[in-house]
Structure 1
């Protein structure tokens, strides 16, 4: 049975969620790979390492895989490693047991992010809730604060006007004063205010984060190290777009993308797509379609549902100009991508 991807995307269902075949459900599922992965982790001592160190290195590799190749390549492995950690915890004692629980929290948060990028907010929320529960067990204040901030970010991504600001404020109450995580949460609060139509509060929050960047850079916590001027400008641009200030949003996206450090391949695609949507709102269809084509290339490379969802918005916004050559080229390429994804997912 064929899937009407365009219809699904226009109702807000991410491509990754629509293509759930082979990706799995939020609940843990047994995998045939887990016993072998458990044996490999336990054998780490033969290489002068420990299971905990082995799992920490693996998580870093999975993060790099996601950034370069997209979430579909990593999501199954992350689910498997959560089961591996749970198996290792059965026999662990003392600090090893706590370290494994901390790792389980980190893997759970990573899995939430993968589902979020696939366009499956229900699964993302499920795993963030699990990560919050596990972080409380660990007793790591920064880790719990980070997970709470991520809950605010997810609420913003899903335009949850009820929870987004409250979750961001909760994360700030949990954070150490003047810490990087407090600034991260304030960034998500700024976007929440914009979603709720409060331009003054949104800009005030963005100014607060900008003023806090220098101090936040010296914070020793490993969480939120990507907070920089580019990231803050991206959220300012998103807020401007939510407020209907399309011209300003397009310029702000362009400035933020220009400032981005190398290596953020998939995120650059997300922001290009959002810039294109802003340009369409600003009635610059040719430029919107051209930038949309660049974002579409990244979407095809990574399978990012976040990019595809934004491109679906762009596709809809460009309908009034569909006879323009650049617009027609983009819409045709987008249709072809959806057809290709359907064929791939049903095989």
Structure 2
């Protein structure tokens, strides 16, 4: 089916279109197939098929059996699954390739809720990883035609921004699991789509604001992914565009988040003073116009900035403030979706790293260990960050065997992500452990670090 064609609404239309039949052509194909299984007397007309696809009527069982025979579907499945569910088996590939359409969704839900002991499920494999990945990419296919029409100058509705937001959310979580490098291509492609919609589609009111927000957040995320991939010029270019897009939205919380991202990267680049100033500006912009959770996020990063400048009293003050703000956060607060990752301030990796900067490795190890235990299962990249800094804290306390064990765990996870930031931190850890190379366990880890 051409990419520019609208997605068919009914499964029969999906099957017919997938095999390249027009209504008249499909009627002719069924007419030629029917005698092979003894149903030559059926009258096949394009109007009848059109009514089936519209849901106005359903084909009689003999007609369904002819369709099944044409597409190589087991006739027993016609009775077992019923109309139109069995048509999923007529589509190329397994059921999971069905189009994103209402009928396909309802059919899949019906089948999921049915008796799990049905014989045709026996031996069915789990969804292969490559198919699962494809599904995450294809989920916007059901509105692709609307997006393409919008890029061509047509009106678009809120279903477009809703679908793009869901795609963006999936990308956030892929970054958590895989690191920034694999996400930059998808982020750039999606940002191109949003930009073309802003430029060419007709939209008004809240939808216009939503598209500007999506542009700003995609640009922010792309900057973050480029930063995590250790492409600092690419990150700066992305954030420059994000600042422009954010100005169109008038969303103080998101503007503060964007500035906070810039501040954190400044700290990583050993420019703690600029990071401190940017975070102060972010906190002023957010003011009382955001939720306690977002305020806690900004003030937690201020802990890291203060520590990087050697301001122990300021770091302690910001951490106390952030903890109070986090405790004031309510489950019913309308927190922005991008704040999903925020955890208790004392559990954040940047807090633990702050105490390393302040020369308190025992405190750093305690906080980082607690934070590591609280991490969600899929946060592989953050797990490496925590482990690397825990190993550093242990080495600074002369707990060399523990440091070697922790570093080994980090190295076991490292191949699962593609993150320049993680690679740089592992290089830092190698330099941290090098003075202790006479320890056999440390020497073994240093060899692995060099190989990595």
TM-score normalized with structure 1 length = 0.79
Please, which runs of 5 or more residues in structure 2 have no aligned partner? Answer: 1-137, 149-156
- How far apart are 1:45 and its partner, in Å? 7.6
Instruction: From 335, 351, 355, give the equivalent of 1:221.
Output: 335
Deviation string, structure 1 residues 72-111 (Cα, Å, up to 9, x no partner) = 2211111111111111222222133332221111111111
Deviation string, structure 1 residues 108-139 (Cα, Å, up to 9, x no partner) = 11111111211233322332232122111122
Structure 1 window deviating more from structure 2 (165-174 vs 132-141): it is 132-141
Alignment of 1:136-215 (within 5 A): 136-177=247-288, 179-215=292-328
Q: Is the 8 A contact 1:195 1:239 kept in 2?
A: yes
Instruction: From 31, 41, 66, give the equivalent of 2:175.
Output: 66
Aligned residue number for residue 344 of structure 1: none
In 2, Cα distance between the equivalents of 1:109 and 1:174?
Answer: 17
In 1, Cα distance between the equivalents of 2:147 and 2:234?
Answer: 35
- How far apart are 1:229 and its partner, in Å? 1.7
In 2, Cα distance between the equivalents of 1:213 and 1:299?
Answer: 31
In 2, Cα distance between the equivalents of 1:217 and 1:122?
Answer: 38
In 2, Cα distance between the equivalents of 1:333 and 1:192?
Answer: 32
Give secondary structure in 2 for the equivalent of 1:197: coil
Give secondary structure in 1 for the equivalent of 2:334: coil
Deviation string, structure 1 residues 131-165 (Cα, Å, up to 9, x no partner) = 12211112222211221222222222323122111
1:317 to 2:432 alignment: yes
1:296 to 2:423 alignment: no
CA RMSD, aligned part only? Answer: 2.6
Q: Is the 8 A contact 1:272 1:294 kept in 2?
A: yes
Q: Is the 8 A contact 2:276 2:305 kept in 1?
A: yes
Alignment of 1:19-168 (within 5 A): 42-44=144-146, 50-92=159-201, 93-95=203-205, 96-168=207-279
Comparing both chains, which one has the higher relative contact order based on Cα–Cα distances under 8 Å and sequence gaps of 6 or more? Answer: 1
Q: Is the 8 A contact 1:145 1:174 kept in 2?
A: yes
In 2, Cα distance between the equivalents of 1:253 and 1:315?
Answer: 19
Q: 1:233 to 1:331 in 2, by over 3 A?
A: same
In 2, Cα distance between the equivalents of 1:331 and 1:217?
Answer: 45
Deviation string, structure 1 residues 207-231 (Cα, Å, up to 9, x no partner) = 1111111223443121423322266
- How far apart are 1:39 and its partner, in Å? 9.1
Q: Is the 8 A contact 2:323 2:345 kept in 1?
A: no
1:253 to 2:368 alignment: yes
Q: 1:126 to 1:45 in 2, by over 3 A?
A: closer
- How far apart are 1:40 and its partner, in Å? 7.9
- How far apart are 1:254 and its partner, in Å? 1.4
Deviation string, structure 1 residues 251-281 (Cα, Å, up to 9, x no partner) = 2211221233333221111111111122222
Aligned residue number for residue 6 of structure 1: none
Q: Is the 8 A contact 2:297 2:345 kept in 1?
A: no
Please, which runs of 5 or more residues in structure 1 have no aligned partner? Answer: 1-35, 338-347
In 1, Cα distance between the equivalents of 2:230 and 2:386?
Answer: 15
Instruction: From 344, 348, 355, give the equivalent of 1:240.
Output: 355
In 2, Cα distance between the equivalents of 1:114 and 1:243?
Answer: 28
Give secondary structure in 2 for the equivalent of 1:204: helix
Aligned residue number for residue 38 of structure 2: none
The count of aligned residue pairs is 301
In 2, Cα distance between the equivalents of 1:304 and 1:276?
Answer: 19
In 2, Cα distance between the equivalents of 1:116 and 1:146?
Answer: 15
In 1, Cα distance between the equivalents of 2:147 and 2:280?
Answer: 44
In 1, Cα distance between the equivalents of 2:235 and 2:214?
Answer: 18
Q: Is the 8 A contact 2:226 2:232 kept in 1?
A: yes
Q: 1:235 to 1:64 in 2, by over 3 A?
A: closer
